[in-house]
Amino acid sequence: MRDPTGFLAEEYQQLVASATDWKLRVLEGPSAPWCEIDGHRVLMFCSNNYLGLSNHPRLKEAAVAAVKTHGVGSGSVRPIAGNMDLHMELERRLAKFKRAEASLVYQSGFATNSGLIPQLVGEGDLVISDELNHGSIIDGVRLSRAERAVYRHGDPVDLERVLATAEEHRPSYRRILIITDGVFSMDGDIAPLDRIAELGHQHGAMVYVDDAHGEGVLGEGGRGIVSHFGLSRDRVQVEMGTFSKAFGVVGGHISGSKELVDFAYNRSRTWLLSGSHPPPVAAACLAAIDVLETEGEHVRRLWDLTRRFKSAMRGFGFDIGKSETPITPVIVGESRRAKELSEHLFGQGLFALPIVYPMVAKDKARIRTIMNAALTDDDLQFAIGAFERAGRALHLI
C-alpha cells in the first residue's frame, strides 16, 4: 500500500537540495544584544526586538508582579471568562497611545489579519493588495472569498488604475478594501500611506494598514505610520499592529473607531475562539507602552544606529536595496550565497539569518539585519567589521 504521507519527506528533501529549508538555531536565554545561540556567544543582529524591550527591567518586573496577583493564565477566551482587568486596561492605554477611539488586542499579529480581514469583506467585495504584502495578509484575503486585485509594490499610480477599473463595476462591489503593509518586512521600505489614504477617500474604499514593523519605530514617540504621515482616522480605518516586535512581548492589535472594535469583538473568530493573553503578557505589554511614553531615548538611539550602519554598508558596496527603516537587507542574490554569508558571520560571532525563496524572489536572497537600540557603539562597530570581513572573503564586495 502506498504511504499517503510519503510526499512529506520528498518535498522536504527538495527544499534541502535547493537551500530553501529552515534550520532552527536555539536561543539559550533572553533576547539581548549579546546572547547564547547553539552554545555560542554571539551578537544578535536579526531579531524584531527593535528597542531592546524584551529584556527591559520594567517589563520583567510587571510580568512577575502580574503572576503574583493574577496567576499564569486567564482560564478562558475573553468573551466567556477570560476577560481580565489587565486586558481592558491594556486596550484603553493602547488606544490612548495610538490616539484612536478604541483598540482591540489579539493573540498574535497573524491572528489579527487572518481573523479580521475575512469579516470586513467577503463575496461581492473587492480587496486591493500591495504585491509584497505579508503572508498573514494574503491568508486573510484568501479566507475572505472576496475578489482580489494586486497593485505594483508601493505604487499609488498603479493603485489608482486598479481603483478606476473597480469603479466600472460599481455598484456590483458592496465594499472595497485597500490593504498594505506599513513597513515592508523584507526590504525595509515604507508604504506611501498618505497617497494611499487619499486615494481610498476619493474612491470610497476602506484603508487597512499592517504596521507591525512601524510601531515603536515610526511616528511621534514610536506611535507608528499613521502618526508618521500625520493622517486622520477617517482616512485610515484600520491600523493593525503587534506587541511582538518593538514592544518586546507578543500579541496583535487593531486601533480605529469604536464601531470597528465593537464589530471585531463580535465577528472576528480568531479573537472570539482563542484563549486570552496570560496575565504576565498583558502586564508586560502595558509596561512597554509606559516605556515608550517615558523613555524616548530608545527610539532616538535606534535611528542613530540605523543611519550609521546603512552608511557603512553602502560605503563597502553592499546592496541594501531601498530600505528606509531599521530593517536593512544585505542582498546577495542566490540562496546558497546568503546561507554562506550567514555562516561566515556566525563564525565571527554575529547572528544574522538568511532570507531565501519563497520569502523573497529567487534572485533576491539576503541577510536581513534589524537594528536594536540596546546595541553599544562597540557592538555596532563589531557588526560592521564582521560584514566587511565576510563580504571580502566571499567576494561580495
The x, y and z cell numbers of residue 173, run together, are: 462591489
Instruction: In whole angstroms, give the CA distance from residue 256 to residue 265.
Output: 13
The reply to whether 185 belongs to the active site is: yes
- Quick check: is 245 catalytic? yes
- Exposure string (b/e) for 121-134, b if CB count within 10 Å is 16 or more? beeebbbbbbebbb
Q: Which DSSP symbol is given to 190?
A: B
Q: Which residue has the cell 519527506?
A: 9
* Cell output for 343: 555562516
Nearest to 164 by CA among 182, 144, 145, 149: 149
Contact 151, 181 (CB under 8 A): no
Helix (H, G, I), strand (E, B) or coil at 213: coil
Bridge pairing between strands 126-130 and 147-151: parallel
Rounded Cα–Cα distance for residues 293 and 282 (Å): 17
* Cα–Cα dist 200/307, whole Å: 33
Catalytic, out of 98, 134, 228, 245: 245
Give the orientation angle of helix 297-316 with respect to helix 279-294, to 10 degrees.
80
Paired with 41 in beta bridges are 36
Instruction: Kindly state the cell numbers that stand for 74.
Output: 486567564
CB 362 within 8 A of CB 335: yes
Instruction: Report CA-CA distances (Å) from 155 to 179, 190, 208, 209, 321.
Output: 13, 11, 16, 15, 17
Of 47, 136, 185, 323, the catalytic one is 185
Whether 311 is catalytic: no
Give the integer Cα–Cα distance in Å for 216 and 247. 7
C-beta separation of 302 from 183 below 8 A: no
Out of 213, 228, 277, 310, the active site residue is 213
Closest to 347 in 3D by CA, of 316, 387, 397, 306: 387
Handedness of CA 377, 380, 382, 384 (dihedral sign): negative
Task: Choose among 102, 89, 90: nearest CA to 265.
Answer: 102
Is residue 192 reached through a cis peptide bond, with omega within 30 degrees of 0 on the bond before it?
no
Q: Show which residues are catalytic.
A: 185, 213, 245
